Structure 1
Amino acid sequence: MHISMWKKMIHPDDKPAVMKAFNEHLEGHTTRLENEHRLLAGSGEWKWIIDRGEVIARDNYGKPLRMVGTIVDITERKKAEETLRESEERYCLLFNNSIDAVLLADPGGGVYAANPEACRIFERTEDELCQSGIDCIIDTTDPSYYAVLKEWNRTGKFKGELTLKRKNGAIFTGEISSAIFKDKNGHYKTSIFIRDITERKQFEKEMARLDRLNLVGEMAAGIGHEIRNPMTTVRGFLQMLEGKQDCSKYKKYFNLMISELDRTNTIITEFLSLAKNKTVELKPQNINHIIQALFPLIEADGMITDKNIEIETSEVPDIALNEKEIRQLILNLVRNGFEAMSPGGKLTIKTFRDGDEVVFAVQDQGGGIKTDILDKIGTPFLTTKDYGTGLGLAVCFSIASRHNATINFETSLCGTTFFVRFKM
């Protein structure tokens, strides 16, 4: 092939680089010519080729006299390389942008790659994860850990939930999918996909708690009035008998029975507050105004029990509220806070705006909530008080639900804070 014909067949996009290398070789700047580029084939297709050449004779002035070379079709190789490149790009895209944490490890637990999500949820850099290995992220005190390990060793894969830990020691529940595979060199490796399901677990607990509340509420709506009616009759007859002369020696017993009936009636009233289908009228109101109206009553409760009160209200917008129910919610949380503290303790009532929420908070200086009942807070009839009904917090959760609000809390040995979050 004549050199002029070869030049015409070079792809326009490749031609500048090819001709530059070609001319440099002709001028003696390189000892050998080698290029990969596209060349027009007789079929009209562009083929990838590799051409190699060398000047083998020059005149006394260094001018090239003769050159030999070869052209090899590498189109298939180029297609394979392109397919591999695209595959690697897709892998990198999925690896780096996955909503799940992805770890690549060897069967012994050594990590050699971690994606950004893995670094985020474990609060470690990729280097830290690679240096520490799998052991640094697994909570080995989880009772199911050894069963998982046994299953993984037996089958080479695992799919399920496991307790994991972040760099600061905080634990969380992760949904894991892991399997062994062979890399391109035939070595066994492990892929581990992890999803932080903390929020999902909390949502499931909240739904279970609401289901219990709804069940109790349906029971309350169905039988509450039927119980109250005969109780009213019994109470009336006890009052009548109490007034009779020949029953005067039993007066203290009648008083005791009447007081117990009144206490039962109070419980039924709270019981009915749990009813899911209870209709309440909501209208725009400011929660600060409700707190101010209740303050004399709250202050009196504090003085009786020798507790201090601090009000820290911030300017917040009006939200849709039912004043009667919100008064009950505030009093329940405040009185719970008083009962959690020893004399001299301080209770702080706060309101503030947090994003698109108005937050009402009650903070006590008690000893905190015991860990064995943390997951049961708000469950009807759960109480740690000697004479409690276990309905106060359940009623608060029910009221919050009717206001499209949520209740959460923070607790420690220094006290507990309940937060009621209302959507604006």
Structure 2
Amino acid sequence: MNEVNTVSSAADTECETNFSKAFHSSSIMKFILDYETLKFVDVNHTWLETMGYEREEVVGRTATELDVYENIGVRKELVRAVQQRQAISNQEIRTRTKCGQILTTITGIDYIYYKGKLCILGETVDITGHKHTELALLQSEEKFYKAFNSSFIIQIISRLQDGLIIEANDACCAAFAMSRSDMIGKTSNEMGMWVSADQRPRIIEHLLQDGYYYNPDWKYKIGSQIKCGIVNLKMIKLAGEWYILTSLVDITERKLAEQALVESEERFYNAFHNSPVIMAIYDAESIQHIEINQRYTAVFGYTPEEAVGKTPGELDLWKDFMQKQSFISALQVNERVENFEAQLVTKHGVVRTVLLQVQTIHLNGIRCFLNSMIDITALKNMEQEINRLDRLHLVGEMAASLGHEIRNPMTSVRGFLQLLGEKDDLAHYKDYFNLMIEEMDRANEIVTSFLSMSTNKLISPQLEDLNQTISSIFPLIQADATRADKVVELDLEPLPRLMIDLNEIRQMIINLARNGLESMPGRGTLVIGSRCQGSQAVLFVRDQGTGLDPAV
């Protein structure tokens, strides 16, 4: 049993006054209870203010009547301690105020004689705010560890001094393929995280200077692999010692993807600019040129500086307005165009026929049109030439058919003129007959020329003796030469038999001979000859004409 302090009525008045002043002015909640009845004898201002009562409401009543204690069990323990005159210190008790608010308090009691009676002196400290702080701190720590462990970001807490790891989250364990127990207690050097030996000292120097370290392109190691990440290091204080909270986002795959994208863009750029196909890229909204390749410049004459930022309309590329509108409509409906034939005008006014193929692509997040053009101008010109030749072929066929139809009656007419010219009674008309026969022969030659141009003429080469063929038509050529007062000579050497079309070669020799005779002024000599040069046979017709004008 504790010694009871005595404050008797016989005590010095000054002492009692000092006790009263200390009691009522204390910032700690104080109260005095009658030992026998446990009724309040006195309470100080702090107690009244905290509990929300007036003095008249408290003095003379018990704590039970005021329903001060939230827990009945706690009240019973206090009564038992009082009955045994046990002093109580630092007893945590949940106390109810007048308005029903529950306070967490620390209470202590001792025994005194007050005004000649045995009383209980109690002191209570309100620690509700402290409890809330403790709870908030506990909840904060729980939230931190929940966030720490559940974060997809790699997080490590390590000691500043030596890099000793004291905590690692699940993402970190997964990244390093280690359990938390295997990581904790090891240093970052032992984990082999640093790419170079001076990497950690440089970071520590930065941390000590600024309190944090940030690097969006940080290199680190996991095993033998060098990774890339965004790292944020911050100094934190735990239990009076400095630690480093490391937050790391692995961006290795993103970096590889970015590198692959760069390489892909480089390949696209090379393929685009070196393509033999005319290519241009347009902004899908403004239809302005974004890029043109070298072939575009070569065909249309516009440099990138002249074309980029301008629309095809501003460059006056389209020759036909309706064709342009039809192309735009097709592109708006399908967002792609295939094999659209168009006529475009170059910088120098030359019209080129092209096949357009347009597809939608995205460059740097911008919707664009990739336009590929094949220049088919030469092909179109060839088609036109083929059509023209087809028409000429038709004319040739008509000429051949007409020529055959004309030659038949002409042959009959010539035969009858020869018969009439041999009759004695028509001798005085012989000159007329001869003139008509000559005109018929000339007409026959014209028809023969038409027939020689026929594309459907059949060639039938056979083994023939070229010298014999020349000799067989020599009298005919000699007759032409005699009429023209010219001389014809043969200069033939032995030749092997040749694969020739007899009719064609005869006509060719006659044509060459007559051309030679016509080209010689006055009396001249025409030589028809043949030679064998190696494996080739040579036919020649030599005249004494003046030849072509040098100016021609």
Q: Which residue of 1 aligns with 2:311?
A: 133
CA contact (8 A) 2:317 2:344 kept: yes
Cα distance in 1 for residues equivalent to 2:357 and 2:419: 72
1:232-275 CA distances to partner (integer Å, 9 max, x unpaired)? 34333345446766597898799579636633532432432454
Residue identity opposite 1:115 in structure 2: N
After superposition, the Cα gap between the structure-2 partners of 1:33 and 1:210, relative to the gap in structure 1 and judged at 3 Å, is same
Q: From 45, 53, 56, give the equivalent of 2:233.
A: 53
CA shift for structure 1 position 122? 1.0
1:121-200 counterparts in 2 under 5 A? 121-135=299-313, 136=315, 138-141=317-320, 144-158=323-337, 159-180=339-360, 185=365, 188-200=367-379
Cα distance in 1 for residues equivalent to 2:262 and 2:539: 65
Residue identity opposite 1:3 in structure 2: S
After superposition, the Cα gap between the structure-2 partners of 1:256 and 1:150, relative to the gap in structure 1 and judged at 3 Å, is farther
CA shift for structure 1 position 134? 0.6
Q: From 114, 134, 145, give the equivalent of 2:292.
A: 114
Q: Which residue of 2 aligns with 1:88?
A: 265
Q: Report whether the alignment pairs 1:202 with 2:381.
A: yes
Cα distance in 2 for residues equivalent to 1:323 and 1:149: 65
Q: Which residue of 1 aligns with 2:219?
A: 37
Cα distance in 2 for residues equivalent to 1:70 and 1:125: 51
1:233-272 counterparts in 2 under 5 A? 233-241=412-420, 259=439, 262-263=442-443, 265-272=445-452
Cα distance in 2 for residues equivalent to 1:212 and 1:23: 90
After superposition, the Cα gap between the structure-2 partners of 1:157 and 1:68, relative to the gap in structure 1 and judged at 3 Å, is closer
Cα distance in 2 for residues equivalent to 1:270 and 1:263: 11
Residue identity opposite 1:52 in structure 2: N
CA contact (8 A) 2:400 2:450 kept: no
- SS of the aligned residue for 1:90 comes to helix
Q: Which residue of 2 aligns with 1:357?
A: none
Root mean square deviation, CA, Å: 5.0
Cα distance in 2 for residues equivalent to 1:121 and 1:212: 32
CA shift for structure 1 position 126? 0.9
Aligned residues: 283
CA contact (8 A) 2:319 2:345 kept: no
CA contact (8 A) 1:213 1:274 kept: no
List runs of 5+ in structure 1 lacking aligned partners.
58-64, 282-293, 301-319, 325-330, 335-345, 350-424
- SS of the aligned residue for 2:270 comes to helix
State the identity %.
24
1:263-342 counterparts in 2 under 5 A? 263=443, 265-275=445-455
Residue identity opposite 1:125 in structure 2: T
Bigger radius of gyration among the two: 2
- SS of the aligned residue for 1:140 comes to coil
Cα distance in 1 for residues equivalent to 2:295 and 2:321: 23
Cα distance in 1 for residues equivalent to 2:332 and 2:539: 60
Cα distance in 2 for residues equivalent to 1:267 and 1:142: 51
Q: Which residue of 2 aligns with 1:410?
A: none
Q: Which residue of 1 aligns with 2:107?
A: none
CA contact (8 A) 1:182 1:188 kept: yes
Higher mean Cα deviation, 127-136 or 201-210? 201-210
Cα distance in 2 for residues equivalent to 1:296 and 1:190: 71
After superposition, the Cα gap between the structure-2 partners of 1:22 and 1:38, relative to the gap in structure 1 and judged at 3 Å, is closer
After superposition, the Cα gap between the structure-2 partners of 1:39 and 1:242, relative to the gap in structure 1 and judged at 3 Å, is farther
After superposition, the Cα gap between the structure-2 partners of 1:25 and 1:161, relative to the gap in structure 1 and judged at 3 Å, is same
CA shift for structure 1 position 175? 1.2
After superposition, the Cα gap between the structure-2 partners of 1:230 and 1:36, relative to the gap in structure 1 and judged at 3 Å, is farther
Cα distance in 2 for residues equivalent to 1:248 and 1:21: 131
CA contact (8 A) 1:50 1:74 kept: yes
Cα distance in 2 for residues equivalent to 1:222 and 1:33: 95
After superposition, the Cα gap between the structure-2 partners of 1:83 and 1:200, relative to the gap in structure 1 and judged at 3 Å, is same
CA contact (8 A) 2:421 2:429 kept: no
- SS of the aligned residue for 1:134 comes to coil
Cα distance in 1 for residues equivalent to 2:454 and 2:402: 13
- SS of the aligned residue for 2:287 comes to coil
